Structure 1
Amino acid sequence: MAEGKIIKALSGFYYVLSGGEVFQCRGRGVFRKHKITPLVGDEVVFQAENKTDGYIMEIRERKNELIRPPIANIDQAILVFSAVQPDFSPGLLDRFLVLIEAKDIRPIIVISKMDLTDHKTKPIVEKYANDYRSIGYEVIETSAVTKDGVALLLPYLEGCTSVFAGQSGVGKSSLLNALRPDLQLKTNDISTHLGRGKHTTRHVELLEIGGGLVADTPGFSSLEFNEIEAEQLPLCFPEFRERAHECKFRGCTHIAEPKCAVKAALEAGEIQSYRYEHYLSFMEEIKERKPRY
């Protein structure tokens, strides 16, 4: 028996990195029986007589996992959002951040396509960037075309397993190509008819970049809070979390309770109103969700 890490899953095959070599494996039927699907990022035990005919025998316990994209054992999430084309969306970014915070994965915000901003759009994007920095998030402004800011990402990647995620068309593959030009990942332009990105990445794969492993993932434009409960949501907003102990009531939802430190900070301008509005919207969405049985 050998041990390794799944670095790619494609068409029912799992490609396991072990000892510097990659083995093509299938999952055993026992996984289907127990409704466990091997994921990219899984640490596994496998057996293989050669490099193209192996079987995954065991999946080690995961420290975390994501559903969309399907990946496990992530150290950090590089959330790529374009400044324009498509326009920077704080609402969608906050949705990503909540899902990442709920999994206790470190988020790093990357704003791409800064070279396409003009005198109107650049100040707007930079204000948002500074808002998120003030919360405590790392924010890196980049351009895959001019290479500005790209090198700033490399120290974050070293020794970590990172997932690149974001809306379709924001330039994730272009950014990865800028970090490692020999990858030559397929990229595509924004669909002018639909106004959103075309999917260019069709599967999840871990790539060796900057001394770490980076997952290039299929782009997607909608996420749901299926695994997050109402009482967990306030903990997914760092600026709420750090003030919660000052609220009068333990377990304060920061909505209708009196003497709420979060609402006081909101009124004082210490918390961005759009972040609070997104919080209220997400809370309503979670409360209206059909119960799971």
Structure 2
Amino acid sequence: MARGRIIKALSGFYYVENENGIFQCRGRGNFRLRKISPLVGDWVDFEAENRTDGYIMEMEDRKNELVRPPIANVDQAILVFSVEKPSFNPVLLDRFLVHIEANKIEPIICLSKIDLTSEKSEKSLNQYKKIYQNLNYEVLETSIYMEETLKKLEPFLNGTISVLAGQSGVGKSSLLNALNPKLDIETDEISKSLGRGKHTTRHVELIPLEAGGYVADTPGFSSLDFQGIDQYDLAHYFPEMLERLNDCKFRMCTHVNEPSCAVKDSVANGEIATHRYEHYLEFLDEIKSQKRRY
């Protein structure tokens, strides 16, 4: 039996790569009964008589996994957010960060299309950059038309399994094409009426980089729910709140109405950014609403 990693999943087939090449495989017949769903990024044992007729027999344990995008064993997430067309979206960024933190994946914030930055938006963008950098998040600025910005991103991609994620239309596929012109990934223009892009990426695939490592181009999406995240755990995925949890009076503090709350005190004195706390409250309410529905 051979060992390899799934690099693409499409139409019921799994494309498994090892030192001998890429093999097209199906899942073992009892996977469905065992409720096993292979994901891109999984390490598997497989049998194949030829390159197009293989079967995945067993899957190795995952170190992590994401539901949307569906991918496993990720080292880091490159969260791509454009400064314009579509406009920078801090609430969606914080949604992504919560999910990435919950899955113990290293996040890197990539601000794309910086060549479109206006004088009006630059001041606001710099304020956001400072807030996230103070939280020890890596924040990179890129433009497919500015080669020097792409070179700053390359060292983070080499030798790693990275997922490239973000709202539709922010330029993920264009960014990959700029990093490796041989890829020629389909891109599309922004809808002027809706201010968002079309979903040009229709499946998850690990794309090899010339200098080593892989990056996953993933289908674009504009919302994330919080299934699987408990209301009492949410604050753990905001680093600035996590470091203050032990200073709250109540162990199960939700940082809303409780007295002697270290998080609320830090918001009041400016140590925690107001927009981050507001997003926390929004997400908390959403989690509570989901719980009530079930």
TM-score (norm 1): 0.97
Alignment of 1:219-234 (within 5 A): 219-234=220-235
Q: Could you say which residue in structure 2 is the equivalent of 1:207?
A: 207
* CA offsets 1:271-293 (integer angstroms, 9 cap, x no match): 11010000001000001114687
Deviation at 1:82, TM superposition (A): 0.3
5+ long unaligned stretches in structure 2: none
Report the Cα distance in structure 2 between the residues aligned to 1:189 and 1:241, rounded to whole angstroms.
40
Report the Cα distance in structure 1 between the residues aligned to 2:278 and 2:292, rounded to whole angstroms.
24
Deviation at 1:212, TM superposition (A): 1.0
| Corresponding residue pairs, total | 293
Report the Cα distance in structure 1 between the residues aligned to 2:128 and 2:221, rounded to whole angstroms.
22
Q: Does 1:266 pair with 2:271?
A: no
Report the Cα distance in structure 1 between the residues aligned to 2:37 and 2:194, rounded to whole angstroms.
33
* CA offsets 1:61-115 (integer angstroms, 9 cap, x no match): 1111111111111111100000010000000000111111111111100000000
Give the counterpart letter for 2:227 in structure 1. Answer: N
SS at match of 1:231: coil
Give the counterpart letter for 2:244 in structure 1. Answer: R
SS at match of 1:120: helix
Q: Does 1:26 pair with 2:26?
A: yes
Q: Could you say which residue in structure 1 is the equivalent of 2:167?
A: 167
Q: Could you say which residue in structure 2 is the equivalent of 1:17?
A: 17
Deviation at 1:249, TM superposition (A): 2.1
Moved more, 12-21 or 283-292: 283-292
Q: Could you say which residue in structure 2 is the equivalent of 1:241?
A: 242
SS at match of 1:149: helix
Deviation at 1:131, TM superposition (A): 1.1
Over aligned residues, Cα RMSD in angstroms? 1.3
Give the counterpart letter for 2:249 in structure 1. Answer: K
SS at match of 1:145: coil
Q: Could you say which residue in structure 1 is the equivalent of 2:52?
A: 52
Deviation at 1:148, TM superposition (A): 4.0
Q: Could you say which residue in structure 1 is the equivalent of 2:183?
A: 183
* CA offsets 1:244-293 (integer angstroms, 9 cap, x no match): 12222223222122221111111111111010000001000001114687
Q: Could you say which residue in structure 2 is the equivalent of 1:253?
A: 254
Report the Cα distance in structure 1 between the residues aligned to 2:253 and 2:160, rounded to whole angstroms.
35
Q: Does 1:127 pair with 2:111?
A: no
Give the counterpart letter for 1:266 in structure 2. Answer: V
SS at match of 1:33: coil
Report the Cα distance in structure 1 between the residues aligned to 2:252 and 2:73, rounded to whole angstroms.
30
Q: Does 1:281 pair with 2:282?
A: yes
Report the Cα distance in structure 1 between the residues aligned to 2:293 and 2:193, rounded to whole angstroms.
38
Report the Cα distance in structure 2 between the residues aligned to 1:263 and 1:70, rounded to whole angstroms.
35
Q: Could you say which residue in structure 2 is the equivalent of 1:112?
A: 112
SS at match of 1:169: coil
